[in-house]
Amino acid sequence: MPESRDNRPLGLTRRQVLGIGGAFGLLTTASLATAAALARRPATTGAQLRSTAALPPPYQVPLPLPAVARPVSTAGGTDHYDIVQRETIAEILPGLTTRLWTYGGTFPGPTIEARRGRPVTVTHHNELPVPTVVHLHGGRTPADSDGYPTDLVLPAAWPDTPHTMPGMAGMSGTDGHGTGGHMTDPRAVTSRLKRDYTFPNDQRPTLLWYHDHRMDYTAPAIWRGLAGLHIVRDDTEDSLGLPAGPREIPLMITDRAFTADGALSYPSLDPTLRTTPGVTEPHLAGVLGDVILVNGAPWPVHETDATRHRLRLLNASNARHYELEALTEDGRRLDLVQIGADQGLLATPVTHRTLPTAPAERHDLVIDFATAPIGSLVHLVNRLGTGRTRDVMAFRITRPATDDSRIPPVLATDLPDWHRQDAVRTRDFAFRAGRMNGGHGWLIGGRPFDPARTDVTVPLGDTEIWRLIADVHHPVHLHLVGFRILTRGGRPPLPHDAGLKDTVSLRPGESAEIITRFDGYRGRYLFHCHNAEHEDMGMMANLEVV
């Protein structure tokens, strides 16, 4: 495999390199090259909120499994769903109630079960107090249903403001957080009260997720509960013999913080999420909670038999990274056998002892509980956490059982095989902190998001290499396409970089090369950092497929 031996990060000037990190880091070209600097990489990017609510002991609350949505119609070869976005009150912490923004009244929202090639249309109704827009993350979706951040569904009590919205990137003022400016997007297609989103599901089977994507307000909207799962399946995958039925478990991992009365806490400058985007200064690098929720429950426990289980893992946290390991009570580490990545099955399984996962990444894992003592717990632990954020959830092994599942040595033969020489061009993007209209921002190539500016134009069908470089942690996500990771830090990719990805986790000071073919649909798409706070504070750009 061709490998870059050039230590100079991606042709940036020395001055640009020294600027990387801004107030957040002390990384320089020289220090980047040393192992000592790499070892000093902070484990997280972001600042943790402290809950004032009484927190439950771990492994008391049963793991909820999100309900599967029922279609209102299956006529004409399309499954049609209706989802009402509305406020609800839920009991997340035992004995306390929490107001949430939800898809269909639950967090996570209802899971959409889709078959490859069979379209799904979801009519989303907005009964929330603010505009919303739905994006299917990882979906190969025509642009008009991809949830562009200004394609808003306005609620009943919202003024008609076509093509203009308060925008962080357009703001004036000395701290960058004033309410002065407006951002204009002449291409925005807004609607009122509801909108149909059509997803062809014409893609490799995988775990996708849908979430809010409103410009400037994605992070607090997801934090309040606007996230759900969407699974694409096909006959080929069904026939592999992987653990299925109750032995296939979706796990949406998030972190949150709670005030004493049970409310979610979040450091919004404007808690109404109407006029002023952004978070308070200590949280500019990202918002971390001190309570780990899996499928919306704090440090839950799930009862299973002593067999193989397929865990469909999604890190839906705004900013928190995890490095997961599964520990038995007698101190053994169970293998995490990865069978799939963001965009579906790997070619062959990859066995991990510990598995890093960044915001928006999905990992399809098989874990075998056969050797865990009956009656004991297997803990899923985050090695990057401290104190209570080390715990994620546990499995209680209830009984032995026969297991006819298998992990085939070859999982898939349809992975795209793009080679460096297939690329018709190479682009460089630096993801780093910077100044944005007098305040702090997160920039791509030195610029904050502007919906009216096309940053990248790609002819449909072209293959490209993108070289990405980061100052702090930036999980970089492309809409529309899956990609493969060619190199990381100038070296071959890591074991967890295998397969087809739509989000690549860049660590502090790190670069990566990705390769993809821009096919599927023409239109306006995005790429951005999936640290949701970074995304809201400018770290997003337009990708126009023509």
Select from 57-65, 186-194, 379-387, 522-530 the region that touches ligand C2O (CB under 6 A).
Answer: 522-530
- Decide which of Cu ion, ligand C2O, none touches 474; Cβ closer than 5 to 8 Å per partner kind: Cu ion
Between 334 and 430, name the residue whose CB sits nearer to Cu ion: 430
Residues 108-137 that bind ligand C2O (CB under 6 A): 135, 137
Residue 137 found at the interface with Cu ion (CB under 5 A): yes
Residues 466-485 that bind ligand C2O (CB under 6 A): 477, 479
CB 25 within 8 A of CB 472: yes
436-467 burial, b at 16+ Cβ within 10 Å, e below that, comes to bbebbbbbbeebbbbbeeebbebeeebbbbbb
CB of 94 to ligand C2O, least distance (A): 30
Give, for 397, the enclosing helix (H) or strand (E).
strand 391-399
CB 90 within 8 A of CB 234: no
Residue 501 found at the interface with ligand C2O (CB under 6 A): no
Task: Give the sign of the dihedral formed by CA 129, CA 103, CA 540, CA 287.
Answer: positive
CB 401 within 8 A of CB 391: no
Residue 526 found at the interface with ligand C2O (CB under 6 A): yes
d(CA 112, CA 133): 17
Of 255, 264, 252, 229, the C-alpha closest to 391 is: 255
Q: 535: helix, coil or strand?
A: helix
Residue 524 found at the interface with ligand C2O (CB under 6 A): no
- Decide which of Cu ion, ligand C2O, none touches 507; Cβ closer than 5 to 8 Å per partner kind: none
CB of 221 to ligand C2O, least distance (A): 12
CB 125 within 8 A of CB 164: no
CB of 528 to Cu ion, least distance (A): 8
Between 430 and 529, name the residue whose CB sits nearer to Cu ion: 529
d(CA 175, CA 317): 27
Site string for Cu ion, 478-497 (x = CB under 5 A): -x------------------
Between 81 and 429, name the residue whose CB sits nearer to Cu ion: 429
Between 524 and 534, name the residue whose CB sits nearer to Cu ion: 534
Strand duo 308-315 + 322-328: pairing: unpaired
Select from 55-63, 348-356, 464-472, 523-531 the region that touches ligand C2O (CB under 6 A).
Answer: 523-531
Residues 188-247 that bind ligand C2O (CB under 6 A): 211, 213
Select from 69-77, 293-301, 492-500, 522-530 the region that touches Cu ion (CB under 5 A).
Answer: 522-530
Residue of 363, 474, 501, 507 that binds Cu ion (CB under 5 A): 474
**What is the full DSSP assignment across 343-382?**
TEEEEEEEEESSEEE-TT-EEEEEEE-TTSPTT-EEEEEE
Q: Which residue is nearest to ligand C2O (CB)?
A: 137
Residue 362 found at the interface with Cu ion (CB under 5 A): no
Residue of 514, 529, 532, 540 that binds Cu ion (CB under 5 A): 529
d(CA 347, CA 535): 32
End-to-end CA distance of the chain: 31
d(CA 212, CA 191): 15
Residue 517 found at the interface with ligand C2O (CB under 6 A): no
- The residue behind tokens 């899923």 is 380
Select from 112-120, 135-143, 198-206, 395-403 the region that touches Cu ion (CB under 5 A).
Answer: 135-143
d(CA 379, CA 395): 6
Binding site for ligand C2O (CB under 6 A): 135, 137, 211, 213, 360, 477, 479, 526, 528, 530
